[in-house]
Structure 1
């Protein structure tokens, strides 16, 4: 635990800035989104769905804005020389950066979610505490994965502008905002199978590809906990797709596959493996580069 003092300082520095509290305010204002369709599908557990919705849209942006300078910022400012002079291995430096920045994002996020939860419970009644705790736990894992990706990119590049551009284009635009659309297009190009998202074929590869982004994996797992359907989209969109005589562009296993024909690899638990891969693989690559390169 020699990395703990570094993690504490990273967390304190971010918590003393305005950015994390602007995140808390944004989550508070954005997360509370009741709707009749969601109430019909979840009842009081609609409050738990607020957490998924807020996390899926704002936490990736917060991780990038608050974390992209984690390593490369120290390099460009020259303070990395001091950090490398501490009695820490480079792996411990990465761990301190990761844990400290994860905590700094998780603390205001959890406070906002708790405030929204109290409001939802007062307005719509008591929800399932076990489901709530499970969704909150997966959300904290999701935050850790996002920060791991951001810190890893920050350790791999040489300029802050490169880190920011890579993360905004790659993580935010491609994997978080556009992946559900891009996965359909990519699958059609790779397989030659035309896909109409409003009437998708029962192709396991198509559904697997849609949940390979961090947000897709997160939604898949939290939808499983909420018991709304096997899908990588937000729970409210899944509930709409599952209504009679309603067709959307949302890929939902239950409305596409016949019972007993769903491939085992589409089980919702696979989302946890995808999250683990996103959290560990970039970090392993960053550790390899960080531990061997001259980064000062």
Structure 2
């Protein structure tokens, strides 16, 4: 069977990323970032606290690393003029986008996979045998999250015409607002829509609030991985979710189970639908950028 036309582009991108020192520096940083057992997490999860380490490794630092490794994927080719050379080959602009996303995703997944193995070994030795199914499940969802991040970064790189613009869009907008600050932004958006202020320690049982909070790809990712971990329905980091439900501890995380205690939960807040949010972020921005990229000037 013949390889797809975009395969050489993907291979080139993956090899280039894997030859970069920054790619492999990310792996030990993720291990240090991810490893953080607490008494409460051990008490609730037992050996599966190791699975939680993978979720933490996939939150905040991983998105930043992936964006840094991929945000110039198209803009660099455009400014150097090599994009015109690529299009001189039997490749469409869609082929280039697909190849970039696939290749850079492979290049970004491998250091994360290494970090996951190290966290698994450390956690297994220190805390005992964890559930391999939960571990693999969280790993696979994180791989999907990486592909989504690469797709968003490639979309921004394809839709803009300068490094300054793509940097502003990805790091000033996507990372700061949607990844780091969405809990604050989402609550303020809810206030603007409904006029109702939110006490973060006692959030209202309002499906709209939790739906808004779940629009962030990062919080959608943690919602799915918390579900796999067997924790409460929330887009917060697993340690914060445990703290909300742990006796004698209060924290300002938004947990559906705590807010809707004893009340019916809207079906659209089911954890599985957070996968739809992730897929949306992986497909729609790239499709829109692809439309612009196919019709735009290469200059």
Match of 2:284 in 1: 281
Aligned: 1:261 with 2:249: no
Q: In the TM superposition, what is the alpha-carbon distance from 1:190 to its structure 2 partner?
A: 1.2
Q: In the TM superposition, what is the alpha-carbon distance from 1:260 to its structure 2 partner?
A: 4.7
Aligned: 1:135 with 2:134: no
Whether the 8 Å contact between 1:51 and 1:113 is mirrored in structure 2 is: yes
Match of 2:29 in 1: 26
Match of 1:2 in 2: 5
TM-score in terms of structure 2 length: 0.97
1:293 to 286, 293, 296: 296
Aligned: 1:230 with 2:233: yes
Return the alpha-carbon distance in structure 1 between the equivalents of residues 262 and 287 of structure 2. Answer: 39
Aligned counterparts, 1:172-251, within 5 A: 172-251=175-254
Q: In the TM superposition, what is the alpha-carbon distance from 1:243 to its structure 2 partner?
A: 1.2
Q: In the TM superposition, what is the alpha-carbon distance from 1:293 to its structure 2 partner?
A: 1.5
Return the alpha-carbon distance in structure 2 between the equivalents of residues 28 and 52 of structure 1. Answer: 11
Whether the 8 Å contact between 1:41 and 1:228 is mirrored in structure 2 is: no
Match of 2:68 in 1: 65
Return the alpha-carbon distance in structure 1 between the equivalents of residues 60 and 119 of structure 2. Answer: 16
Greater shift, 256-265 or 132-141, is seen at: 256-265
Whether the 8 Å contact between 1:63 and 1:143 is mirrored in structure 2 is: yes
Count of residues in Structure 1 that have an aligned counterpart in Structure 2: 296
Return the alpha-carbon distance in structure 2 between the equivalents of residues 35 and 10 of structure 1. Answer: 39
Deviations 1:192-247 (A, max 9, x none): 11211111111100011111101000000000000110001000000000012432
Q: In the TM superposition, what is the alpha-carbon distance from 1:259 to its structure 2 partner?
A: 3.2
Whether the 8 Å contact between 2:40 and 2:246 is mirrored in structure 1 is: no
2:106 to 103, 106, 115: 103
Whether the 8 Å contact between 1:153 and 1:163 is mirrored in structure 2 is: yes
Return the alpha-carbon distance in structure 2 between the equivalents of residues 245 and 182 of structure 1. Answer: 28
User: Unpaired runs of 5+ in structure 1?
Assistant: none
TM-score in terms of structure 1 length: 0.98
The runs of at least 4 consecutive aligned structure 1 residues that moved more than 6 Å come to none
